[in-house]
Amino acid sequence: MLSLFTAIEIPELIRSRLTALQAFPTPGWEAMWVPEENFHITIAYAGEIEEPLANDLDGELRSLRLPAFELELKGVGAFGGARPSILYAAVAKTPALQDLHERHVRIMRRLGIDIDARKYTPHVTLARPRHAPLDAVQAWIAANNLYASGPFPVDQAVLFSSHKVGSGRHYEPEREYPFGPALL
């Protein structure tokens, strides 16, 4: 079984700038800060699938023909409401990103992969807090809510495998799916 997801890689310069958002004093709570090399924007999560199905997914993803586009990270937030479980950098939504997500989801569903039906909220996970007081998370959001990466090009999607390593995860790029030239 392989644990797979498709994602957009974050350029190195932006990844290094995102680590500055992690340098926030967190008295009274612990957070598992995501390592810089694991920063990405998930397109669609396939989960645990058998290798023959993974090969079918690869073939379908290779057949997509999409134009390159730009994205921007803008602001920060937290998932989990009163019990925050993820701190993230938000992705400014674009029609191109939404279309990419919908196409990957359609492919996975057509192959019989059970896809989470929650609303797509593109983001870069920065931390997984443990027992974080809501006021501390709100202070982190207030301190970082003006973050903006500036636009960056997106010229491919990547199929990643996810592997448990200690108490965290390691993401290994398995296949790249280049996009065509941007349409003007």
Q: Give the model's pLDDT for residue 27.
A: 66
Contacts of the segment 8-14: beta carbons below 8 A, 24+ positions apart: 8/40, 8/41, 8/43, 8/71, 8/154, 8/157, 8/158, 9/40, 9/156, 9/158, 9/173, 10/39, 10/40, 10/41, 10/124, 10/152, 11/152, 14/73, 14/149, 14/152
163 is catalytic: no
Does 101 qualify as catalytic in the annotation? Answer: no
Per-residue pLDDT at 6: 98
For residue 52, being part of any structural domain is answered with yes
Q: Which of 40, 104, 131, 163 is catalytic?
A: 40
The CATH number that applies at residue 79 is 3.90.1140.10
- Parent domain of 70: 2-178
* Residue 184 lies inside a defined structural domain of this protein: no
Counted domains in the chain: 1
> Is 106 part of a structural domain of the chain?
yes
Does 80 fall in a domain? yes
Tens of each residue's pLDDT in the chain, 184 residues: 999 999 999 999 999 999 999 887 666 677 888 999 999 999 999 999 999 999 999 999 999 999 999 999 999 999 999 899 999 999 999 999 999 999 999 999 999 999 887 789 999 999 998 888 888 899 999 999 999 999 999 999 999 999 988 878 899 999 999 998 765 4
* Domain assignment present for 105: yes
* Catalytically annotated residue among 123, 131, 163, 170: 123
Is 74 domain-assigned? yes
Q: Is residue 125 part of a domain?
A: yes
